[in-house]
Structure formats: C-alpha cells, structure tokens
Amino acid sequence: MEFSTVNVVIEGGMEYPFPPLIPIDQSFSRKRINEISNTIASEMEKIPIDSIDGKSIAITVGSRGITGIVNIIGALVQELKARGGEPFIVPAMGSHGGATAEGQIKILASYGITEGSIGAPIRSSMEVVEVGQLEDGTALYTDRLAFEADAIVIANKIKPHADFKGSYESGLVKMLSIGLAKHKGAVAIHRHGFDQFHDVLPRAAEVLLARLPILFGLAILENAFDELMSLEIIPTEKVMSREKKLLEISKQSIGRLLFPKIDLLIIDEIGKNISGEGMDPNVTGRPGSGLPGFNAPKIQKIVVLDITPQSHGNGVGIGLADISTRSCIEKIDLGAVYTNAITATILDPAKLPIILNSDRDAVSVALKTCNRITPETARVVRIKNTLELHRIWVSPAMLDEVDNDENITIAGEETPMAFDSSGRILSCEY
C-alpha cells in the first residue's frame, strides 16, 4: 500500500519546540523462571503415562508472541515423546495469518516454530468439524486435524484480553473456543459480540471440554518485563477453575504506565505479537470494542510509528491511534487487517488514522492538537511498545510525579527529542 506525499496546511507550519525526554524506569514485580525444560518435565508428572503412550497428540500454538515459545513447545514435545506419544503442532489462531493454512504456518515460523526447531511436524488446515452447539444454536467448531488426533493439548498464554473483561479472557478457554475453531468457528463465536464474551466463552469451553479428547492445558504466564513467569500443566477437569485464578495473577503482573494523565503517547511499534489489537488497551485505555473496565491514563493523542515484522502486515489496532506515518501505513496488508477485524466484528481497530509524511510531522501535529498545553507543560511519554514498559521516556513536565512515586526512578540524562534528515525519530535505549 503506497501513499503519495501528504500536503497539509497548518498554522505555523510543522515546526514545534519539542520538549526533551528523560529515561525513567518503572518498577514491577519480577518473578520469573529460567529452567523451562526442568519445569515442563516436573509438571508432566501430573499426567498418567497411559494417557500418552501410543497416541497422536495435537498441540495448539497461537499467533501471540510468547517469551521462550520455541523452548516451551520443544520441551513439551520431548516429554510427550519420552512417554510414547506422537505429538504434532496445530496452528490455533482463528482468522489470523490471512485465514489461510499457509499464512498460519508463516506466523509460526516467524516465532521460530518449525518442525526442525521443536522436533514435531506442523499440520495446518482451515478445515473444521462441528462438535457441538450452544443453547441458542451457535455451532462450535474444532480444527479437523486436532479432532482426528487421539488427544489435544491446549497451550496458551493467559493474560487480560484487549476487548472485554471477565473471569476468562485471553487464555486456554479462548484458545479452545476460538483459536482452535479456525476462521469459521471464530466468526460464529464473534457474532455474539465482545459484550457477551464473558458468558459465551466459558459456556463454549465447557461443551468442548466435554466432547473433545483434551489431554491437559499448558498455561503460560509472563511478568511485566515480558519474561516467562510461570508454566503450569492443568489436568482437563481443572482447566475452568484454575484458569480463572491464573488470570487474576496475570492481571496483577502486567506492565502499566504509572501516570494518571498523558498529553502525547508516542509508540514506536505495534503488532499482533504484542497484543491482539496491536497496542494493549490495558495500557492505552482504548479498546476497539469500546467496552469499560480498562484502567489506564487519560491520553489526549497517540502516535504510532511502526508495525512489527512479526505482524506480517496485520496492523490491526492502527485505528486506535490518532496519527501515524506513511512509512508505517505502507507496511500494512489491508487484507490481513480487514479479515481480522471483520471476523472480530469490531471495525474501529482497522480504520486508518491521520497519516503524515514523517515521524517529525506526526509528533508535531500531535502536540499542536493537544489542548491546554505549552511546550513546557506538555506531558509526553515515549515507549517501545505496550509490552515492554520498564524503561520509558518522559518529558520534564512529568518529573514531579516521578519524584513522588517510589515505583519510578530516573535512569539517565535529559536528551533532546531528535530526528534525522528524513524526519525519522532517532532511536533511544529501552
């Protein structure tokens, strides 16, 4: 997608006395594990060998970025093989990857998940089997290849969802109900709307758990530093009760912006590997669904500067920004974005924001359109993405709050907000 030069007339031109930025560190709990193989081996003791020996076992892997995912799935494959199992990988990501089998394999490969890296074949198909219905007649589907296996392992990260709040959000229940249901099943569930997901997802999962050969769930939790915090194998009969508790732990562990108000938030990159909506509404306070419950700073303007390579052009979430740039928007595959948004039935995340010629123009216009600020009072925050929030950069107007919060410390010297000759913002240390 290409755009010509954007000619826009602004009073005073594109010049603005940009405030300098200061690096600060936000402090969060940092519980983590390093021994992935040993942890998986220990957790596998919960599962009887006779439920594994001689059986073909489908393992779900989704489209979200997960720290150490190659080692996690590789260790799981090794333990299943050691017990006589015949594991294989099934991409479980609903409509992502352009809703094609090939596209979903490419997403896995971008995370390093290949047959060679994890020691098991990858079998990708968009074919599904109807395995049940909700009380209202909504059909519940499952990937045909997984359905035909002797057993299924539901593996996923448990975290707050980007569009709704409930006892089950993004995790094993959602993977089972939507990810494993491929495009057709994802569409069927999303027709209910995110405002009903708190009820629909657990009801769907209960039906599927009763009718599918689920061997166990593998719950993955990360801390606020994007590090692996917990790996837990959950027997099938305990999936519903345990996931609810793990979600509460995850909600207490995610990173946030520890400020009540921000005039301009500059986000270096968004992407599907970062959040389902490119930038996490739990950080920005802007869910595409418009539903309540997302506690975040009040932000006047958001500028997005880039899309991650791991998104493969799926820039869904760009519509939740106010301003972006030609170089950013030109990386977007509208087909992938629209497929994702239409499947989810919420279209705002797929809309395009104001598009300007450079990072410099984007930041200048954002500041010019913030109300009730001056260059000296502008509350500016720059972050790498909404997943990595330990080191961020703030303008001098926010330093009083830094001094008064024991969870925030200054990490370096004041630095001018600088741009190169093409108007691209200079990189900074995160």
Q: Has residue 428 been placed in a domain?
A: no
Running DSSP on this structure, what letter comes out for residue 194? G
271 and 357 in a single domain? The answer is yes
352 and 371 in a single domain? The answer is yes
Within 10 angstroms of residue 5's Cβ, the number of other Cβ atoms is 6
111 and 197 in a single domain? The answer is yes
Q: Has residue 426 been placed in a domain?
A: no
Q: 3-class DSSP state for residue 395?
A: coil
Q: Has residue 181 been placed in a domain?
A: yes
Q: Has residue 47 been placed in a domain?
A: yes
138 and 240 in a single domain? The answer is yes
What is the DSSP annotation of 115-175? HHHHTS-B-----EEEEEE-TT--EEEEEHHHHHSSEEEEEEE-B--SS--SSS-BSHHHI
Distance of CA 165 to the CA centre of its chain: 15
Q: pTM for this structure?
A: 0.91
Q: Among 227, 253, 279, identify where a domain stops.
A: 253
Tens-digit pLDDT profile for the chain (430 aa)?
788 898 999 988 888 999 999 999 999 999 999 899 999 999 999 999 999 999 999 999 998 889 999 999 999 999 999 999 999 999 999 988 889 999 999 999 999 999 999 999 999 999 999 999 999 999 999 999 999 999 999 999 999 999 999 999 999 999 999 999 999 999 999 999 999 999 999 999 999 999 999 999 999 999 999 999 999 999 999 999 999 999 999 999 999 999 999 999 999 999 998 998 999 999 999 999 999 999 999 999 999 999 999 999 999 999 999 999 999 999 999 999 999 999 999 999 999 999 999 999 999 999 999 999 999 999 999 999 999 999 999 999 999 998 889 999 999 999 999 999 999 999 999 9
Number of domains in the chain: 2
104 and 134 in a single domain? The answer is yes
114 and 233 in a single domain? The answer is yes
Q: Among 253, 283, 313, identify where a domain stops.
A: 253
203 and 263 in a single domain? The answer is no
163 and 59 in a single domain? The answer is yes
Q: Has residue 417 been placed in a domain?
A: no
90 and 237 in a single domain? The answer is yes
Distance of CA 200 to the CA centre of its chain: 21
CATH number reported for the structural domain that contains residue 110 in this entry: 3.40.50.11440
Q: Among 226, 253, 280, identify where a domain stops.
A: 253
Domain encompassing residue 190: 36-253
45 and 114 in a single domain? The answer is yes
Q: Has residue 52 been placed in a domain?
A: yes
Q: Has residue 5 been placed in a domain?
A: no
82 and 173 in a single domain? The answer is yes
- Gap between the Cα atoms of 175 and 418, Å rounded: 43
Q: Has residue 8 been placed in a domain?
A: no
241 and 152 in a single domain? The answer is yes
